[in-house]
Amino acid sequence: MEKRGPKPKRIINEKWNANLAYAIGLITTDGCLSKDGILIDLTSKDREQLLNFSKCLGVNFNIGNKWNRKGDECLRIQFKNRIFYDFLLSIGLTPRKSLTMGKLSIPNGYFFDFLRGCFDGDGTFYSYWDKRWRSSHMFYLEFISGSKKHIDWLREEIYNRIGASGYIGKDNKSSVFQLKYAKREAVEIINKMYYNRRVVCLSRKRLKIEKALVTENKQQEIYLVK
């Protein structure tokens, strides 16, 4: 008679909610699924990021240390769970996903929670004064991926929901694709991602956005006065 191993234990509730969607966004960008079918890794330089991940999945994960090839120290969470691993496979994540990932199965009501996780994982926001124009304050919201299929899917999903087109560029130095949104479109996405003050997020990125929007609002007031 064939021996069966112990039944896999469920440690994470896979029922969709805002926090789970955010955690999936972090895994999509900063996470890794091993080829053994059981190990999940999330690496970040931000301890807050990993604490948020633990909070969202309802598990008090141990945070360890990791060093990359350059010798830089990072933090990481590693855990083994076949049930959650299989759930990640079922929505479209795979081992060695960075260059091959395509669309993911994210419920409509939680897409912008997922997108906020992607932004906190591999996104960026920057602003500057454009010297070509008087009092021209510019800012951009950017999502990054090594997979063209995935970045195309993100762009399509955002457009279908709010009509923001953005544009895709490529960083020739690192061969990653960049999905960028400027000013009005960026604000539309920001308002969808940060729909209230209680959403889980990386505080340093939200603060950076808030400071830029304060500057933008002041500029708009100046234009109205004139």
Task: Output b/e per residue, 41-54; b: 16+ Cβ within 10 A.
Answer: ebbbebeebbbbbb
* pTM, full prediction: 0.90
pLDDT bracket for residue 5 (50, 70, 90): low
Q: Pull the structure tokens for residue 225.
A: 């006065």
Specify if 101 maps to a domain: yes
Specify if 194 maps to a domain: yes
In 3D, which of 173, 128, 121 has the Cα closest to residue 150? 121
Specify if 9 maps to a domain: no
The rounded radius of gyration (Å) of the Cα atoms in the chain is: 19
Specify if 10 maps to a domain: no
Specify if 185 maps to a domain: yes
Specify if 5 maps to a domain: no
Task: Let me know: does 24 contact 117? Beta carbons within 8 Å.
Answer: yes
- pLDDT exceeds 80 at position 201: yes
What does the pLDDT look like over 128-155, one tens digit per residue?
887 766 667 889 999 999 999 999 999 9
Specify if 51 maps to a domain: yes
Domain that holds residue 46: 18-225
Residue 88 maps to which CATH number? 3.10.28.10
pLDDT, mean of residues 74-89:
96
pLDDT, mean of residues 7-31:
95
Number of folded domains that form the chain: 1
Specify if 2 maps to a domain: no
pLDDT bracket for residue 221 (50, 70, 90): very low
Burial of 181 (0-12, 13-18, 19+ CB in 10 A): buried
Supply the pLDDT for residue 202.
98
Q: Strands 73-80 and 64-67: what pairing? A: antiparallel
Burial of 90 (0-12, 13-18, 19+ CB in 10 A): exposed
